[in-house]
Amino acid sequence: MTDTWVFLIRENDWDSDAYLPENMGGRDLSEDEDMAAHQRFGDAVAALGAKITGSNALQNAKYGGWVAAGAGGGEPVYTDAPFTDTNEVITGYYEIECDEATARKIAGLVPSSNTVEWRKVVQFGS
């Protein structure tokens, strides 16, 4: 049975600004070893008969934050980066259609210098 799985890449935050078009300075992403590793990963996923249905790198955590529900229905509590609680953030993700055994194999192939978390997606609605 084919399900959808999300693979969350947890690493130390990265310099996402260096990869913005205005900062590339004529560099070609295909020459970047980290980006090439993700291309090889895509090839490996296809070789396993699975299908990547979505993927993105996430910009540096300074472009986001956390929010916690307010106690007793109060105002939400916002925290902007940098986060003192952790030095690891989710730097990107893949969404892949495959069976559970293949998902387990794929998790070990995701390019990361740290931890990859994989989770089955619950489909609601159509």
| 10-residue mean pLDDT series, the chain (126 residues) | 94 92 87 91 98 96 89 89 73 97 98 95 84
Q: What is the CATH number of the domain that holds 14?
A: 3.30.70.1060
- Does 84 map to a domain? yes
Using H for helix, E for strand and C for coil, what is the string for 56-114? EECCCHHHCEEEECCHHHCCCEEEECCCCCCCEEEEEEEEEEECHHHHHHHHCCCCCCC
Pair 120, 7: CB distance under 8 Å: no
Secondary structure class of 35 (helix, strand, coil): helix
Within-domain flag for 55: yes
Range of the domain at 27: 3-120
The domain tally of the chain equals 1
pTM score above 0.85:
yes
Dihedral of the CA atoms 16, 19, 20, 21 (nearest 10)? 180
Residue 38 counted as domain residue: yes
